[in-house]
């Protein structure tokens, strides 16, 4: 594992040639190039927003800046990409907030179930001082949070059973991200939480290593997990945003005007991605239904009641205080 990570880091450094450089060789002379890597498919709304962000950065900067995008996990897993940013071998990445709790403990609030009443409440919190403070907290880990991307709500999908209530999860091996809070959530609901990397999940479902998983509709569809898992329960237990991050080492090398251009390009890309996400969610649900998946709309209250002890366990802690602040946001 250590050797694999070492070689990936070497590869990223070689590809980057330094994450921030002045390019010629086919590009405009003195053009600043930022290397961005993520783990998603090129059809995903996040990747399409990244392409848009590159276009907008080129336009805003008079073609003196650009973003080179490496998709599909070419440079490693989300955790590995975060580590590459920390050592300055990669400029930017998109990661889920879930693994970020290992770097910024406050991020675990996104992995707690039923923290947000609905999508409107979720975005109100992200755009409030609470959301901005969480982005700033990333700087303690040598990362700068540039913005939030929509990743919708996460729900359970299963190979062979239709989950109507928490009792249907009893004893079922459920894939989760590498997050202690996500593991606690599934175990509290009666399942057996099983961390599996995203790239290995299709095979794990197919071979019965896990009985199911949880994710948003576009990810369920684009990953083709619907070919194996024929039951999708829209319990919407968590809203976990994606984070757009830049290495603080790279950020600090940019001139103030360049930082302003990049922030502007990010803001426009975030707005564009939210529109794409809504369209993608509707299209994905229609597609999996057409492929024979049974989509279930359960009563959420039994799920909410089942995880109350998990919420109560954080009373008197910083996370508990954060939960109270979030609940107070209108």
Stretches where the chain sits below pLDDT 70 are 1-29
Cα 248 to Cα 2, 16, 137: the distances in Å are 24, 16, 12
- What is the per-residue pLDDT for 27? 44
Residues 180 and 109 sit within 8 Å (Cβ to Cβ): no
Go through the chain and tell me how many residues it has: 330
Query: What distance in Å separates the CA atoms of residue 39 and residue 147, rounded to the nearest whole number?
Result: 18
Three-class secondary structure of residue 70 per DSSP? strand
Identify the CA nearest to 149 among candidates 269, 284, 326, 265: 269
Q: Give CA–CA dist 237/231, Å, rounded.
A: 16
Chain centre to alpha carbon of residue 162: 26
What pLDDT, on a 0 to 100 scale, did the predictor assign at position 25? 37
Q: How many helices (H) and strands (E) does the chain have?
A: 14, 12
Over the stretch 262-277, which tens digit does the pLDDT of each residue have?
999 999 999 999 999 9
Rounded to 5 degrees, φ, ψ at 197 are -65, 150
Give me the chain's average pLDDT, please. Answer: 91
**List of residues 6+ apart from 81 with CB closer than 8 A:** 37, 38, 39, 75, 90, 93, 95
pLDDT of residue 4: 53
Q: How far apart are CA 205 and CA 228, in angstroms?
A: 7
Task: Point out which residues pair with 176 in neighbouring strands.
Answer: 195
Work out the angle between the directed axes of helices 318-327 and 129-137 (0-180°, nearest 10).
150
Q: Of all helices (H) and strands (E), which one includes residue 54?
A: helix 45-60
- Rounded distance between C-alpha atoms, residue 35 and residue 180, angstroms: 30
**What pLDDT, on the 0 to 100 scale, is given for residue 12?**
46
Q: What is the pTM of this model?
A: 0.83
pLDDT at 18: 52
Domains in the chain: ranges and CATH: 2-150+241-283 (3.40.190.170), 153-239+286-327 (3.40.190.170)
H or E stretch including 171? Answer: none
Report how far residue 95's alpha carbon sits from residue 101's, in angstroms, rounded to the nearest whole number: 11
pLDDT score of 17: 52
């Amino acid at each position: 594992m250590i050797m694999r990570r070492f070689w990936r880091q070497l590869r990223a450094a070689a590809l980057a040639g330094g994450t921030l450089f002045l390019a010629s060789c086919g590009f405009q002379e003195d053009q600043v190039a930022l290397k961005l890597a993520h783990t998603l498919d090129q059809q995903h709304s996040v990747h399409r927003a990244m392409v848009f962000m590159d276009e907008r950065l080129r336009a805003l900067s008079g073609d003196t800046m650009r973003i080179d995008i490496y998709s599909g996990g070419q440079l490693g897993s989300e955790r590995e990409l975060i580590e590459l940013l920390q050592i300055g071998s990669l400029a930017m990445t998109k990661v889920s907030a879930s693994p970020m709790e290992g770097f910024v403990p406050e991020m675990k609030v996104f992995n707690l179930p039923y923290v947000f009443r609905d999508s409107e409440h979720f975005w109100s919190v992200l755009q409030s001082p609470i959301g901005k403070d969480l982005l700033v907290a990333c700087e303690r880990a040598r990362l700068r949070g540039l913005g939030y991307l929509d990743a919708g709500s996460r729900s359970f999908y299963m190979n062979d059973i239709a989950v109507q209530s928490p009792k249907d999860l009893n004893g079922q091996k459920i894939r989760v991200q590498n997050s202690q809070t996500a593991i606690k959530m599934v175990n509290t609901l009666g399942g057996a939480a099983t961390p599996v990397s995203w790239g290995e999940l299709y095979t794990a479902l197919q071979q019965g290593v896990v009985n199911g998983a949880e994710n948003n509709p576009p990810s369920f569809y684009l990953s083709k997990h619907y070919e194996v898992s024929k039951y999708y329960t829209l319990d919407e237990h968590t809203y976990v945003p994606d984070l757009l991050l830049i290495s603080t080492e790279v950020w600090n090398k940019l001139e103030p005007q360049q930082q302003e251009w990049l922030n502007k390009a990010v803001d426009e890309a975030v707005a564009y991605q939210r529109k794409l996400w809504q369209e993608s969610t509707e299209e994905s649900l229609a597609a999996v239904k057409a492929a024979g998946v049974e989509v279930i709309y359960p009563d959420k209250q039994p799920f909410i009641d089942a995880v109350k002890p998990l919420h109560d366990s954080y009373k008197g802690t910083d996370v508990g205080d954060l939960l109270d602040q979030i609940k107070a946001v209108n």
